[in-house]
Amino acid sequence: MTEEQIIANRFGRFGKREVKQSTSNLAVMYTRVSGKGQFDKNESLETQRKSIEEYAKRNNLTIVSAFGDTYESAKTDARKEFQRMLSFVNTSKGKISTILVYKMTRFSRTGGKAISIADELREKHGVHIKAVTEPIDTSNASGVLFHDMQLLFGRWDNDQRKQVAMAGMKAKFEKGIWVVKPPQGYDIVRTSGERKIVVNADGKKIKKAWEWKLMGMKNEEIISKLQAIGVKMYKQQLHKIFINPFYCGLVSHGMLNGKVVEGVHEKMISKETFMKVNEVISSSPKFGVPHKAEDVNIPLKVFIKCSDCNQPFTGYIVKKKNLYYYKCRTNGCKCNKSAKEMHRLFSEELEKYEVKPDLTEAIRIELESTYHEMNKDSVEKEVILKARIVELTKDIETLEEKHFIKEEMPKETYDRFRVKYTKEFDKIRKEMATCGISISNLKEMINEAIILCRNLRQLWQDGGIAMKEGLQHLLFPNGLVYDKKNGAFRTSEINFIIAQIARHTGDLALIKKGLSSLFEPKSLSAEREGFEPSIPLRVYKLSRLAHSTTLTPLLLKIWGGKCKKLIGIAVFCTYSVNSPRKDWVRCFSICLRVSFFPSKYISLATAASVVISLPLTTPILAKPSLVS
């Protein structure tokens, strides 16, 4: 070995990257079109294949495999057939020398990314890309430059087309025309060359989902019903439908930059229904909470909040022990509670609101009185509005008579008054819709409410997850707060009707909550200003008149002699009133309010009023004096 060879072997250096040269005459063919319309016609693909095969024949290239032959958009390189071709070339171990395409834009329109792919193919595998209609020799620097310019031009051309298309789409969106694929429940139809978006058969079924949501159904139940009638649906899709204004005839798209315009497509629901459903969704205590499957073993999750941080509880299971627990979501709060113990506390809370059977009739009367008192203003308003409608109808008839029959009024004047009356007529009808408080089966509904309140605890314990959660939110609309220091529940709001029923049960806990008869809300059938109101008050009568005059023994029998002193007060006060009708029970209740005795006596007094059928009609009572 010579000295020069020794030096070359020891100190000679090589380039870090060597451009691989392939002498093979094997090639692959890649064809594509951008859209399905072009693919269905098959004209462009046929032209591409024919031109590539002729080029290969002239240049002594053998096509060993063909890729593409379908519709794939070149705006991305993550195309199925494109990636399959690259994988085939990379694993050919230098056997493939050429990729044949019709034009460079058929290969890619991604610009810089396409240049990077071409460089890797050329330098690592020795594979060159040839456009048969734009042949360039990429074995030298000048050819590579022109090759890269073609790829960049493809990206520029694509961006130019996109800009023009986006401007046209935005203009149509601003006119309320939906130019992209419509959501589930709609089809695009063409009649006499006019494109329309209409509700399809699935859409008519999906329309029921909005009604079910307003009825209080949970999404899982709605999905089950939709699937049962043949509509494919999952939870995320249903939520997207509920929050999409397209279904109420509005167009909202990113191209509108936050604007919402009136659409020209067919409405599935009204705007009022859409807004009501979204109010239900946003007011849900679970709105914005990460979704987990419902579990009948932990029905109080999210419903209960921590008293320290006001965050909802979550539920979990200790699998080794097969025990369920509730815990606060806040890290470091350390508020964990056994599900078994939490359910026991909640059952005890429900028991406080159960109705005692012997008070059923008293509660029924009180609820009827409350209902009529609460809706008194609406009834009066409805009467006034109906009278105004009658007047408007007569005015419109007079207007038409003067214009059409007697011809005493010009058309301009008629049109002006007609518009005025019509607007007022519509306004009154909308106001009347808000006065629709009439319930034809009021007594039946009250009976059902009372029956429900007799078995609250048992219903909750025996019910499924839907029953448990429904009952929870019925009684406590804003949920409950768990006080870990005292191991008890607190609530800021109780269902009004349940509270009206519960305050007659005489439970001491309700006195502390301000719900007993000693405090507000007081019975709407009682006077509001002490013993001698300054103005006459509306008086509600029971359905039957008194038919017993021997009351003292009866009252003693009812209360078992436990409060004889108070009965003596009631008797004394009643006989001191110079009135033909004596209000024993109300006088007795007033005595209790003055003395602040436990509310159970008031409940018993109310029950007594039913037993002895006394009309509560005495408007003024004498100031009571204490007697033995």
- The residue among 162, 196, 227 that closes a domain is 162
pLDDT digits (tens, 9 = 90+) for 466-522: 888 888 888 888 889 999 888 888 887 777 666 666 665 554 344 444 444 333 444
Per the domain annotation, does 83 fall within a domain? yes
In-domain check, residue 89: yes
Residue 30 and residue 155 share a domain:
yes
Q: Do residue 32 and residue 158 come from a single domain?
A: yes
60 and 142 assigned to the same domain: yes
Omega of the bond prior to 598 within 30 degrees of 0, cis? no
What is the mean pLDDT of the segment spanning 406-420? Answer: 85
Task: Tell me the residue range of the domain where 397 lies.
Answer: 376-433
**In whole angstroms, what is the distance from residue 617 CA to residue 368 CA?**
17
In a domain, 143, yes or no: yes
* Claim to verify: residue 264 and residue 142 sit in the same structural domain: no
Work out how many domains the chain is built from and give that number.
4
**pLDDT at res. 72:** 75
pTM of the model: 0.41
Alpha helix stretches (DSSP H) within 175-234: 201-214, 219-228
Do 191 and 250 lie in one domain? The reply is yes
Which of the four pLDDT bands, split at 50, 70 and 90, describes residue 245?
very high
SS (H, E, C) 45-58: HHHHHHHHHHHHHH
Q: Which of 410, 433, 456 is the last residue of a domain?
A: 433
H-helix or E-strand spanning residue 323: strand 323-328
Higher pLDDT, 193 or 609: 193
Rounded average pLDDT over 242-263: 92
Position 15 scores a pLDDT of 58
In percent, the amount of the chain with pLDDT more than 90 equals: 19
Is the pLDDT higher at 427 or at 544?
427
My answer on whether 335 and 380 are in the same domain is: no
pLDDT at 603: 42
Residue 506 confidence (pLDDT): 52
Say if 154 falls within a structural domain. Answer: yes
Look at 108-117, 362-371, 481-490 and tell me which has the smallest mean pLDDT: 362-371
Cβ partners under 8 Å of residue 328, min gap 6: 306, 308, 309, 311, 313, 314, 334, 335, 336
User: Which pLDDT belongs to residue 595?
Assistant: 37
Instruction: Give the confidence band of 274 by pLDDT, cuts at 50, 70, 90.
Output: very high
Of 81-85, 213-217, 359-363, 561-565, which gets the smallest average pLDDT? 561-565
Q: Which residue has the tokens 């649906």?
A: 233
In this predicted structure, the answer to whether residue 606 has a pLDDT above a threshold of 50 is no
Q: What is the pLDDT of residue 200?
A: 94
Residue 149 has a pLDDT of 85
Residue-by-residue DSSP string for 240-289 = HHHT-GGGGTEEE-GGGTT-EEE-SSPPSS-HHHHHHHHHHHHHSTTTTS
Between residues 139 and 172, the one the model is more confident about: 172
Q: What is the pLDDT of residue 78?
A: 76
According to the model, what pLDDT value does residue 497 have? 62
The reply to whether 44 and 136 lie within a common domain is yes
What confidence score (pLDDT) does residue 178 get?
Answer: 93
pLDDT one-digit tens code per residue, 306-348: 988 888 898 999 998 899 999 998 888 888 899 999 999 999 9
Residue 46 has pLDDT above 60, yes or no: yes
The full length of the chain comes to: 628
Q: Is residue 591 part of a domain?
A: no
CATH of residue 259's domain is 3.90.1750.20
Answer whether residue 407 is part of any domain. yes
Same domain, 36 and 128: yes
309 and 228, same domain (yes or no): no
Residue 65 lies in a domain: yes
Per residue in 560-587, pLDDT (tens digit) is 443 444 444 444 344 333 333 334 444 4
Instruction: In whole angstroms, give the CA distance from residue 115 to residue 153.
Output: 11
Mean pLDDT taken over the chain:
75
Query: Is 91 in the same domain as 134?
Result: yes
Q: Across residues 179-194, what is the average pLDDT? A: 91
Over residues 363-383, the mean pLDDT reads 78
Q: Which residue has the higher pLDDT, 503 or 260?
A: 260
- Is 319 inside any structural domain? yes
Say which residue, 235 or 539, is predicted with more confidence. 235
The pLDDT value recorded for residue 586 is 44
Per-residue pLDDT reduced to its tens digit, 53-68: 999 999 899 999 999 8
Q: Please state the separation of Cα 85 from the chain's center in Å.
A: 47
Considering the domain architecture, whether residues 70 and 156 belong to the same structural domain is answered as yes
Looking at residue 21, what is its pLDDT? Answer: 59
Q: Please state the rounded mean pLDDT for residues 454-463.
A: 88
Dihedral-angle region of residue 93 (phi above 0 means left; psi in -120 to 50 means alpha; beta otherwise): left
- The two beta strands, 336-338 and 304-306, are unpaired
